Chain A
């Protein structure tokens, strides 16, 4: 397998409504920033890999066809990836595979969502005849899983609040973050309305318009980039929505994905060897749940990492220095933002939310009913 590195990263200004741009203008903004970061133009790119969440969200079928012009993809291979909320991650992985397999030298990968034009809430809640409804949106689906986690682990009720305050404070240091709440505190979160017990309003992600893009390159095509983020390992796993005995709190697909990821990068002690992680946390309680799923904590102990401050910027395993999905959620792009932020950490380009000396970082995304997983590890040093 050929080596692959991230040499360019771009994000849009994420906001509730980007009325100033079309869908094409939105993806273009991220793509141009990634190219500028790499010191390249569209003519230097061999292929484009694009991802977004379901077409029913914005109601534009196969948007990749219409977006080819905006992404300089005319006459080039272009492909679409679709794995629900994890798509931003799996899209980057498909792009990396094209480089690792030696098919292309430089691949532009882009993911987006324009929630202001979309109906994500109801597109996730169709009431099909003869099937149980998934209830109202993602929160309605995930709240029972959080309740189950609290019951199983005995986690104290303030854990979700702590995660929310941490990520919202981190977001204040990220110039691209959507939701900026400078006066955030435990009390403010606690007093926010309960939406889906135990998930409060300020423990949920916003609806965002945004896009993220990266340029991935082969070892001999780094151009003038001297601080690439090397792809150390990447994995995707999925499992069906429903089957007998399925553990939705700690899904097997996620555990298997992490295990294979660590094996691929020679990681034996993830908590000690990984310096920082961008983990897909759209509802606060998913931080402790994923800490266990990813093997950073023993089962039923993930909440201790949050309460002990291990996942804060000053802890030994900072989680979501960018402010995470809780602060910015253009659904299809959210996974790629995690992957891109991980790469920024090992490139040393994360600015005010940089974790000093980060050498190995994880990007993580999940989607569907906690059933699609995409993860990568990136490193400062060439593997």
Chain B
């Protein structure tokens, strides 16, 4: 098989993104250490906000503050974090429904060990000291009461 021709092929492009008015406000709020959701015409609060109501397609123009704490609706434990994941130590991926929100958002819970994770538990956001307007400005959620 020594005569099989091989050649390296690396393809890289530098893409850019315009976030638009809705996602842009969500990211700006994160940079300021705040969380906001999009309020639909039917009164549902979606976090993170979407530009258009997933049910009706109507524009979601109104952004409202939501709490920085909420309830874990489901979770899974990451015993061996991969490079690039939010935390280098074991953590939980969880869906967190923030206070005042009608949908849950995916983020990391820094619980230390899986025995401290429970569906229905309350968690609170921990923001980084230096923020740049990305979802990782919210470093992770922490269990609200040490048990």
B-binding residues in A (CB < 8 A): 17-25, 28, 42, 56, 58-59, 69-74, 114, 116-119, 122-123, 126, 128-130
Contacts and interface: CB of A to CB of B under 8 A. Distances in A.
Given A18-B18, A117-B15, A130 B7 contact: yes
B20 A25 contact: yes
Q: Which of A73, A74, A118, A126 is most buried by chain B, counting CB atoms within 10 A of its CB?
A: A74
Contact of B52 (A24, A59, A128): A24
A117 B16 contact: yes
Interface residues of B, number: 23
21 contacts: A18-B18, A20-B18, A21-B21, A22-B18, A22-B19, A22-B23, A22-B51, A23-B18, A24-B51, A28-B52, A59-B13, A71-B57, A72-B57, A73-B57, A74-B55, A74-B57, A114-B18, A118-B15, A126-B11, A129-B8, A129-B9
B50 interface: yes
A22 B59 CA distance: 13
B139 interface: no
Nearest to A127: B9
Contacts of B19: 22
B54 interface: yes
Given A69-B51, A69-B52, A69-B54, A119 B14 contact: yes
Nearest to A209: B18
Interface-central residue, B13, B19, B53, by most chain A CB under 10 Å: B13
Interface in B90-131: none
B17 interface: yes
A18 B18 CA distance: 8
A69 B16 CA distance: 22
A72 B11 CA distance: 35
B28 to A, nearest CB: 14
B94 to A, nearest CB: 24
Contact of A25 (B7, B11, B51): B51
B46 to A, nearest CB: 11
A181 to B, nearest CB: 25
Interface string B12-44: 011111111101000000000000000000000
B5 interface: yes
Contacts of B17: 22, 117
- Most chain B beta carbons < 10 A, residue from A21, A69, A72: A69
B15 A128 contact: no
Contact of B20 (A21, A118, A119, A128): A21
The 7 closest A-B pairs by CB, nearest first: A22-B20, A129-B7, A72-B57, A119-B13, A69-B52, A59-B15, A25-B20
B15 A119 contact: yes
B61 to A, nearest CB: 12
B57 A58 contact: no
Contact of B51 (A70, A74, A119, A123): A70
Contacts of B50: 69
Nearest to B7: A129
A128 B52 CA distance: 40
A20 B7 CA distance: 42
Contacts of B16: 116-117
Contact of A42 (B7, B51, B57): B57
Contacts of A70: 51-52, 57
Contacts of A74: 54-55, 57
A18 B19 CA distance: 11
A53 to B, nearest CB: 14
Residue among B8, B16, B55 facing the most chain A CB atoms (10 A cut-off):
B16
A20, A25, A71, A72 pick with most chain B CB within 10 angstroms: A25
A42 B11 CA distance: 39
Contacts of B52: 24, 28, 69-70
A18 B16 CA distance: 12
Interface in B30-88: 50-55, 57, 59
A70 B59 CA distance: 8
Contacts of B51: 22, 24-25, 28, 69-70
